[in-house]
Amino acid sequence: MSLLSVRNLQVLFATENGEVAAVDDITFDLAEGEVLGIVGESGSGKSVTALSIMGLLPRPPARIGRGSVMFEGENLLTYGERAMRRIRGPGIGMIFQEPMTSLNPVFTIGDQIMETVRVHEGVGKAAQRDRAIQMLARVGIALPERRLDDYPHQLSGGMRQRVMIAMALICRPKLLIADEPTTALDVTIQQQILELLLDLRDEFRMAIMIITHNMGVVAEMADRVIVMYAGKIVEQAPIGALFRQPSHPYTRGLLDSIPSLADDRERLKTIPGTLPNPSALPPGCRFEPRCAWRVAACIASVPPLVAVEPEHHSACIRHGELAAR
Amino acid sequence: MTPLVRVEGLTKHFWVGGGPFGTGQSRLRAVDDVSFAVAPGETLGLVGESGCGKTTVGRMLLRLIEPTKGTVEFDGEDLLRLPPDKMRERRRNMQIVFQDPYGALNPRMTIEDIIKEPIEIHGTLNAKDARRRAGELLARVGLAHEHGRRYPHEFSGGQRQRIGIARALALNPRFIVCDEPVSALDVSIQAQIINLLQDLQDELGLTYLFIAHDLGVVKHISDRVAVMYLGKIVEIGDKRALYSQPLHPYTQALIAAVPEAKPRAERRKAVISGEIPSALNPPKGCRFHTRCPHVMPICRETEPPVTETAGRHLVACHLYPAGGVAAA
Ligand SMILES: Nc1ncnc2c1ncn2[C@@H]1O[C@H](COP(=O)(O)OP(=O)(O)OP(=O)(O)O)[C@@H](O)[C@H]1O
Ligand SMILES: Nc1ncnc2c1ncn2[C@@H]1O[C@H](COP(=O)(O)OP(=O)(O)OP(=O)(O)O)[C@@H](O)[C@H]1O
Ligand code: SF4
Ligand SMILES: [Mg+2]
Ligand SMILES: [Mg+2]
């Protein structure tokens, strides 16, 4: 049985132009100890997916239209706020995209980390403090006992991000959702953090869902990858297969746009155009207006995800021809 | 060639703290004794970890932040001696594209008004010409004329970044500080913006200071690259030399740590460990010594001088003693 199993999830947002689906009918699984990467265009619904799993969508304007989020066999979408609070922490930990919004500026970082330990484990003050110091040391904060009394604004961006990571990890979650966990960090620190996450995965089979724009981070971390475009999963594949045989034109465009350290060609390849307006989506494939492979059939209906190989799915009707090139 | 921008000993100290318990203020050495030059039409990349002082350098060049010490020359003129009205005039030639595409645009102004604002402040065109110019600029950055009537929240991050670029171009500047213009964007939009910046440079002969922390992006767009660590430039050189033969151990670590967009069987091990020290209390001697794999006793005591190796490649590290390589 999967640790996490998302089925036909649809998340709607109320806007001036009526309700729009920010996430539309997505289905995926995540097993214990597995690292799942989620990549995709900015605004394609990655963070909304994460927040739905955590029960942290802003409601209103958001509402779940349809679907289920099964975690250890229970549908979290039926849970109330109190029940969700027991899941957050020891069940699912999350590192948020914006570190400053998720640390409280009026409490010291020690207070904030120790509070998490107290709520979930009910241990005494001294034990809370020890745990906090250990965790801060593990995320690479020097002299953690001296840092406990600092307020968030006294730390650099990179250190705040590590404090957040410590908070997410301190209850040893079974699933860690990391939304752009290392974007603000220099690559030497990024590498340390990614290594720590993989160590924790090895030590107690923590599953990780990592959302990122950085294809290098995905390649380094993930066992499997989901590619999202305009609220839909357009491709899903084991990491090797995704890079070896990208089977959706969007994924190809994404991989082709990366400026690499190795070559420096004159001009970067791009995908022309932008994400469609969610209240006026193209009738068929949502990528069709930007796609170099489009044919008349692409607008006839929304192409479903189909198997390219076992475990490798694409939502492009021409995936066979793509593979051939 | 005479540089368009030349910076000597640029320094900025902030006084911070006076914490909740009334503790005294402490000196934060955000930028410490930074020198470099940018030739006309050139792109100098500036990389380094979060908080190392990149934005502060960029803003000091335009005097949006007043330096504590040092000189900033633009086209041979010392900007720091200029009175405010003269400085404002010079600023027509120097613009900035801000780090955060979400926060940088006034949400209550239409796009056209945002782009026209610098023109109006400097009174360079009448109302009709200003509107026409705004339309041209929108087209220049790949947006449609009718976008001008809309508001920032109606645009995606990449589109907002284009708007920021259009605004920066409004007064035909010669020099633009691009402060992480693509960091908040996904790779496909990032590639569009980078291509746009390069096209504009080719057509208009622009000079850029390009700040970023993605080494791939910086390598792609820059002619030369400067690497900062804790308020100091530790290495600066031609991008090919710097990437193929990095001299400073921090630059070496940075390049080795870049995750490759290529899956591999075994896990990589971190090249260097340790926390980046605080700018409130930077390490004595070489600021990188607490993390450096080659640390020697002298590194803990004495600040390494800047040494020039072949081809304008500068490094500040005791592994390269001043007499050992040709100093210029
Ligand atoms: N509070 C909100 N109100 C209205 N719409 C929202 C809200 N939050 C998200 N959305 C919409 O939902 C869609 C998906 O957003 P989401 O934040 O999940 O994107 P993302 O894939 O995480 O993008 P990024 O890579 O930029 O973080 C977007 O079109 C966005 O405009
Ligand atoms: N107005 C200010 N007051 C006090 N300290 C400041 C101020 N502005 C910047 N700093 C500090 O100066 C240092 C350099 O900041 P700066 O914003 O230049 O870094 P950066 O390299 O641009 O980082 P990032 O990559 O996160 O944008 C940091 O330690 C920062 O906290
Ligand atoms: S279905 Fe058609 S439009 Fe969509 S990605 Fe495939 S080829 Fe392109
Ligand atoms: Mg997001
Ligand atoms: Mg900055």
Q: Give the pLDDT score at A245.
A: 93
pLDDT at A307 over 90: yes
Low-confidence ranges of chain B (pLDDT < 70): 1, 17-24, 101-102, 265, 322-328
- Distances from the Cα of A322 to the Cα of A247, A298, A316, B198, angstroms: 6, 14, 9, 31
Of all residues in chain B, the one with the smallest CA distance to A238 is B263
Q: Give the pLDDT score at A122.
A: 79
User: Confidence band (pLDDT; 50, 70, 90) for A54?
Assistant: very high
Q: What's the pLDDT tens digit per position in A128-167?
A: 899 999 888 888 777 788 888 888 877 766 778 888 889 8
Q: What's the pLDDT tens digit per position in A246-266?
A: 999 999 999 988 887 776 667
What is the nearest CA distance from B127 to chain A, expressed in angstroms?
31
Q: Give the pLDDT score at A239.
A: 95
Across the interface, of B17, B185, B253, the residue whose CB is closest to A42 is B185
DSSP per position, A191-254: HHHHHHHHHHHHHH--EEEEE-S-HHHHHHH-SEEEEEETTEEEEEEEHHHHHHS--SHHHHHH
Q: Whose CA is nearest to atom 7 of ligand 1?
A: A13
Which contacts of B287-295 are long-range, i.e. CB under 8 A and separated by 24 or more positions?
Answer: B287/B229, B287/B230, B287/B231, B287/B232, B288/B229, B288/B230, B288/B234, B288/B248, B288/B249, B288/B250, B288/B317, B291/A188, B291/B250, B291/B253, B292/B249, B292/B250, B293/B249, B293/B253, B294/B249, B294/B319
Residue A205 half-sphere exposure, CB side, CA atoms within 13 Å? 5
Lowest mean pLDDT among A170-179, A247-256, A264-273: A264-273
- Of chain A, the percentage scoring pLDDT greater than 90 comes to 50
> What's the whole-number average pLDDT of chain A?
89
DSSP per position, B70-83: EEEEETTEEGGGS-
Q: Give the pLDDT score at B125.
A: 85
B279 CA → ligand 2 middle, Å: 9
User: Confidence band (pLDDT; 50, 70, 90) for A3?
Assistant: very high
Mean pLDDT of A15-28: 90
Q: Give the pLDDT score at A263.
A: 66
Picking from B156, B179, B186 by the largest number of A CB atoms within 10 A of its own CB, the best residue to mutate is B186
The pTM assigned to this predicted structure is 0.85
What is the nearest CA distance from B215 to chain A, expressed in angstroms?
7
Q: Give the pLDDT score at B21.
A: 54
Across the interface, of B156, B216, B254, the residue whose CB is closest to A258 is B216
Q: Give the pLDDT score at B325.
A: 47
In short, whether A234's Cβ falls inside 6 Å of ligand 3 is no
Residues whose Cβ atom is located within 5 A of ion ligand 4: A 47
**B257 interfaces chain A, CB cutoff of 8 Å:** yes
Q: Give the pLDDT score at B327.
A: 37
User: Any residues with CB less than 8 A from the CB of A39 and at least 6 apart, and which?
Assistant: A46, A211, A212, A213, A215, A218, A225, A226, A227, A228, A254
Q: Give the pLDDT score at A100.
A: 58
Please state, in angstroms and rounded to a whole number, the distance separating the CA atoms of residues A298 and A302: 8
Of all ligands present, the nearest one to the C-alpha of B52 is 2
Residue B146 half-sphere exposure, CB side, CA atoms within 13 Å? 0
Mean pLDDT of A189-214: 90
- Of chain A, the percentage scoring pLDDT greater than 70 comes to 96
Interface of B with A in 51-70 (CB under 8 A): 51-52
